[in-house]
Amino acid sequence: MVNLSIKLPFLKQKGVTENTTPVQAQSFAKGLVSVKDIIAPPAVEIEFDHLKIGNFYYRTLFVAGYPRFVTANWLSPLVSFNHTLDVSMFIYPQESREILDNLRRKVGEMEATIQSDIKRGKVIDPSVQVALEDALELQQQLTKGAEKFFQFGLYVTVPAETLEELNHTAKQVESTLSSLMIITKPSSLQMEEGFKSTLPMGTDKLLITRNMDTTSLGTTFPFTTSELTANEGILYGINEHNDSLVIFDRFTLENANSVVFGKSGGGKSYLVKLEVLRSIMFGTEVIIIDPENEYQEMCKSVNGEYITFSFNSSTKINPFDLSQLTNSGENELGQKILSLHGLFKVIMGNLSPSEDAVLDRAIISAYKQKGITPDPKTQNLEPPLMEDLYKTLLGMEDAVSKSLADRLEKFIKGSLVGLINQKSNIDIKNAFTVFSIRDLADELRPIAMYILLDFIWTKIRRDLKKRILIVDEAWYLMRYPDSANFLNSIAKRARKYYLGLTTITQDVEDFLSVEVGKAIVQNSSIQMLLKQSAAAIDRVAEIFYLSEGEKHLLLSADVGEGLFFAGPAHVSVRVIASPEEHRLITTNPMEIAARTVPKTPAVDRENNLPIQPQPTTQQINQAPINPQPNMSLGNIAPLNLNPNPNQSQVVFQPIPPKPQDK
Ligand SMILES: Nc1ncnc2c1ncn2[C@@H]1O[C@H](COP(=O)(O)OP(=O)(O)O)[C@@H](O)[C@H]1O
Ligand SMILES: [Mg+2]
């Protein structure tokens, strides 16, 4: 260790005495490394047309000419330029009185010019005429106080890692801006000043300004639209604001769950089918609960497994199946008993506390009779059947258990026989599995969906894979608090098992009016809102904090149009499919009928994938062209009220500008 407190002969000796500690401290401090030393670049090289700071190159452009007419947000191509840029805008308010004095003089000059031209019989210079009109108009506006007067400076610094990149990007910026009729020039020989002017310090060292009135200045406000474009993931649609692609990977978000809300026919299933088609290409497995046989066609085309769940089908599911997981960290039997309780409440309606207690005892003892206890080792044994529970209840020989047994009877003897009272005979082996429950009566669908969800949940946890579970028409489950709770519990635990739950519902109001519905929304990182009905919009707006504009968008949305929320980003999206994809996923009866009309041998030959006329849905997706009225941009260029901007700096204190970083 070197003792740094010793007096070195080359240190400044002036005034240093043994006891002047502050000076000593100062010289000591000089030898220390400060934060500035650490962050400062090794060198700054100032060339006449660029700067080199450390390993980075910079070039500043200033705007020398503006277009005569602009629309609102006309700078958006600059703001959303596809390269890092430092953009700064300086706004200097001007005293109207002085401007008016100047204007009066200029107006007088121009009128005199015109008059003398007329006298001499010359043709009037049209540019003087236009300038005069502009000046008169501005004079009027300023006098009325309708407009104020400003000077505006706009500078752009382009950073780059190499000189080639710098030249290339700067050229791109220049051509982007020149397409907006903005003339830019590099601040040659003033690169340092240019660079400093675009630092977020609020100092304008270039002072190259342009006169503007309030309206024109307003149009320069850098509105940005949010984007939802990631480097990986799948395409969901096109951003309606800036035509960028909406691409993201739901598995990179906090959780992979999504909710899809919209009016019937709004394009919910279509959107989800599209997502599924694109996800399976990236190796995601998909499981769907399909109450409307909507996914059959698509399932066939991707060689998926389509399992029909009805009374006369051979498909059986035993709700008593256990996951046989030994390392999940959860009490598997306990979880199962909990979900069975939920199921029985959906089947039998509300249970009183004593009935619930009896049922609990009966379930535990039914498992015990098969040798199954909370010990995971015993859980590989054959699980009990509904019949075993029924017998257990009968064997308990009291009034409560008798009544419970009676209520259960129809599932093992009566009309519902064969549905859930046998050993499971299916498995989820296919990467694309659809469970159809359309053949079940309406009031049985929640039960079936519950059993299926439980079955899927039990099965998929055995091996970890990237999966999406889709529950279409999820409002069936929301009808009963127990099934709704079960859905929410899956949403909450899905992340741990690499599962993304997609909940689709049209009954938005009902879904969101219960607490569990809101919880499911909160447990979903992705929310997709499609066309909403007027009845539901207020509730939706309240839950999703929609602005008036967004509400309007959802009310007037076309099929396949809506809002996407992924994490913090909001974008309005148009869902589009390729003609090939559309053919697989459309449920438009007209298109399907058109496909099956020619019952000629040609169709029989290609029974599986008949040749169809290409659908013409792309019309739906045509973005409306939205013309915007032009706004005048001061129109006073020829006036040149202030030929030397440096003067204005002396007279008018600049207000702190708003540096705009991109
Ligand atoms: N983005 C879209 N482009 C073209 N057609 C669409 C689009 N979204 C939905 N459709 C069509 O609109 C109809 C209703 O869509 P669907 O997804 O079944 O509605 P939902 O599930 O919301 O009730 C279907 O015929 C479907 O083919
Ligand atoms: Mg649907």
Q: Are 369 and 350 in contact (CB under 8 A)?
A: no
Task: Locate the ligand 1 atom nearest the alpha carbon of residue 574 and give its number.
Answer: 1
Amino acid at 388: D
Residue identifier of the C-alpha nearest atom 4 of ligand 1 = 617
User: What confidence score (pLDDT) does residue 627 get?
Assistant: 36
Kind plus residue range of the DSSP H or E element containing 358: helix 353-369
**Does residue 562 line the site of ligand 1, with CB under 6 A?**
no
Residue identifier of the C-alpha nearest atom 2 of ligand 1 = 560
- With a threshold of 0.85, does the pTM exceed it? no
User: What confidence score (pLDDT) does residue 12 get?
Assistant: 53
Instruction: List the beta bridge partners of residue 245.
Output: 238
Residue identifier of the C-alpha nearest atom 8 of ligand 1 = 267
Alpha carbon distance 415, 424 (integer Å)? 19
Give percent above pLDDT 70 in the chain: 85
**Does residue 575 line the site of ligand 1, with CB under 6 A?**
yes
Q: Is 230 helix (H, G, I), strand (E, B) or coil?
A: coil
Burial of 518-548, coded b for 16+ CB within 10 Å and e otherwise, reads ebbbebbbbbbbbbbbeebbebbbebbebee
Find the helix packing angle between 332-348 and 353-369, rounded to 10°.
130
- Long-range contacts formed by 538-544: CB under 8 A, 24+ apart: 539/508, 539/509, 539/512, 539/513, 540/261, 540/508, 540/512, 543/512, 543/518
**In terms of C-beta density within 10 A (0-12 exposed, 13-18 middle, 19 or more buried), how is residue 118 classed?**
exposed
Q: Is 151 helix (H, G, I), strand (E, B) or coil?
A: strand
User: What confidence score (pLDDT) does residue 426 get?
Assistant: 85
Instruction: List CB-based neighbours of ion ligand 2 within 5 Å.
Output: 269
Convert the pLDDT of each residue in 531-551 to its tens digit. Answer: 999 988 999 998 888 888 889
Q: Does the CA dihedral 392-393-394-396 come out positive or negative?
A: positive
**Does residue 620 line the site of ligand 1, with CB under 6 A?**
yes
Q: Does the CA dihedral 309-313-319-322 come out positive or negative?
A: negative
User: What confidence score (pLDDT) does residue 92 get?
Assistant: 94
Alpha carbon distance 57, 66 (integer Å)? 27
Alpha carbon distance 255, 567 (integer Å)? 10
Residue identifier of the C-alpha nearest atom 10 of ligand 1 = 267
Q: How far is CA 572 from CA 70, 82, 272, 552, 569, in A?
A: 25, 20, 16, 12, 10
Mean pLDDT value across residues 602-622: 44
Convert the pLDDT of each residue in 565-586 to its tens digit. Answer: 987 778 899 999 999 999 888 8
User: What confidence score (pLDDT) does residue 620 get?
Assistant: 38
User: What confidence score (pLDDT) does residue 653 get?
Assistant: 38
User: What confidence score (pLDDT) does residue 661 get?
Assistant: 42
Pairing between β-strand 69-70 and β-strand 631-632 as defined by DSSP bridges: antiparallel
Pairing between β-strand 526-530 and β-strand 149-160 as defined by DSSP bridges: unpaired
What's the CA-to-centroid distance between 589 and ligand 2, angstroms? 13
**Does residue 295 line the site of ligand 1, with CB under 6 A?**
no
Name the residue of 238, 259, 270 to mutate for ligand 1: max ligand atoms within 8 A of Cβ: 270
Alpha carbon distance 388, 375 (integer Å)? 21
What's the CA-to-centroid distance between 613 and ligand 2, angstroms? 24
**Does residue 559 line the site of ligand 1, with CB under 6 A?**
yes
Residue 656 has pLDDT above 50, yes or no: no
Pairwise pLDDT comparison (278 vs 73), residue with the higher score:
278
Could you say which ligand is closest to the alpha carbon of residue 292?
2
CA 395 to chain centre: 57
- At 16, phi and psi to the nearest 5? -85, 120
User: What confidence score (pLDDT) does residue 258 get?
Assistant: 95
Which residue's entry shows tokens 């039960």?
A: 447
Residue 121 has pLDDT above 70, yes or no: yes
Neighbours of 455 (CB within 10 A): 21
Residue 178 has pLDDT above 90, yes or no: yes
Residue 449 has pLDDT above 50, yes or no: yes
pLDDT confidence bin for 1, thresholds 50/70/90: very low
Could you say which ligand is closest to the alpha carbon of residue 293?
2
Q: Is 601 helix (H, G, I), strand (E, B) or coil?
A: helix
Alpha carbon distance 173, 161 (integer Å)? 16
User: What confidence score (pLDDT) does residue 414 get?
Assistant: 62
Pairing between β-strand 467-471 and β-strand 285-290 as defined by DSSP bridges: parallel
pLDDT confidence bin for 522, thresholds 50/70/90: very high
**Does residue 291 line the site of ligand 1, with CB under 6 A?**
no
Pairwise pLDDT comparison (513 vs 20), residue with the higher score:
513
3-state secondary structure 380-405: HCCCCCHHHHHHHHHHCCCHHHHHHH
Token pair for residue 35? 């934060």
Q: Are 225 and 77 in contact (CB under 8 A)?
A: no
What's the CA-to-centroid distance between 602 and ligand 1, angstroms? 28
User: What confidence score (pLDDT) does residue 213 get?
Assistant: 86
Residue 639 has pLDDT above 50, yes or no: no
User: What confidence score (pLDDT) does residue 72 get?
Assistant: 77
**Does residue 533 line the site of ligand 1, with CB under 6 A?**
no
What's the CA-to-centroid distance between 267 and ligand 1, angstroms? 4
Residue 4 has pLDDT above 60, yes or no: no
Give the range among 9-13, 419-423, 506-510, 634-638 with minimum mean pLDDT.
634-638
Task: Locate the ligand 1 atom nearest the alpha carbon of residue 274 and give its number.
Answer: 1
Helices and strands: H and E segment counts in the chain: 25, 21
Alpha carbon distance 257, 567 (integer Å)? 11
CA atoms within 13 A on the CB side of 623: 16
pLDDT confidence bin for 615, thresholds 50/70/90: very low
Kind plus residue range of the DSSP H or E element containing 535: helix 534-544
User: What confidence score (pLDDT) does residue 18 get?
Assistant: 54
Could you say which ligand is closest to the alpha carbon of residue 270?
1
pLDDT confidence bin for 500, thresholds 50/70/90: very high
Convert the pLDDT of each residue in 231-263 to its tens digit. Answer: 888 999 999 887 889 998 999 999 999 999 999
Token pair for residue 312? 């006369």
What's the CA-to-centroid distance between 298 and ligand 2, angstroms? 14
Convert the pLDDT of each residue in 288-346 to its tens digit. Answer: 999 988 899 899 999 999 998 877 778 888 899 988 877 777 788 888 999 999 999 98
Residue 521 has pLDDT above 90, yes or no: yes
Convert the pLDDT of each residue in 398-426 to its tens digit. Answer: 888 998 888 888 777 765 666 777 888 88
What residue ranges do the domains of the chain occupy?
A: 44-224+634-661, 589-622
Neighbours of 244 (CB within 10 A): 17
What's the CA-to-centroid distance between 560 and ligand 1, angstroms? 6
Neighbours of 147 (CB within 10 A): 20
Task: List Cβ neighbours of 162 (8 Å cut-off, separation of 6 or more).
Answer: 57
**Does residue 446 line the site of ligand 1, with CB under 6 A?**
no
User: What confidence score (pLDDT) does residue 134 get?
Assistant: 86
What's the CA-to-centroid distance between 470 and ligand 2, angstroms? 12
Ordered alpha helix ranges (H), 281-352 = 296-301, 332-348
Q: Is 90 helix (H, G, I), strand (E, B) or coil?
A: strand
Question: Quick one: which of 468, 424, 476 has its CA closest to 445?
Answer: 476
Q: Are 421 and 412 in contact (CB under 8 A)?
A: yes
User: What confidence score (pLDDT) does residue 563 get?
Assistant: 93
Residue identifier of the C-alpha nearest atom 16 of ligand 1 = 267
What's the CA-to-centroid distance between 505 and ligand 1, angstroms? 14
Residue identifier of the C-alpha nearest atom 9 of ligand 1 = 267
User: What confidence score (pLDDT) does residue 435 get?
Assistant: 93
Convert the pLDDT of each residue in 548-567 to its tens digit. Answer: 888 999 999 999 999 999 87
Q: Are 33 and 151 in contact (CB under 8 A)?
A: no
Pairwise pLDDT comparison (641 vs 204), residue with the higher score:
204
Name the residue of 503, 578, 580, 586 to mutate for ligand 1: max ligand atoms within 8 A of Cβ: 586
Residue 397 has pLDDT above 70, yes or no: yes
Instruction: List the beta bridge partners of residue 90.
Output: 153
What's the CA-to-centroid distance between 478 and ligand 1, angstroms? 23
Residue 389 has pLDDT above 80, yes or no: yes
User: What confidence score (pLDDT) does residue 176 get?
Assistant: 92
Which residue's entry shows tokens 């949305």?
A: 557
Residue 492 has pLDDT above 90, yes or no: yes
- At 573, phi and psi to the nearest 5? -125, 145
User: What confidence score (pLDDT) does residue 257 get?
Assistant: 95
**Secondary structure letter of residue 528 according to DSSP:** E
Alpha carbon distance 524, 54 (integer Å)? 45
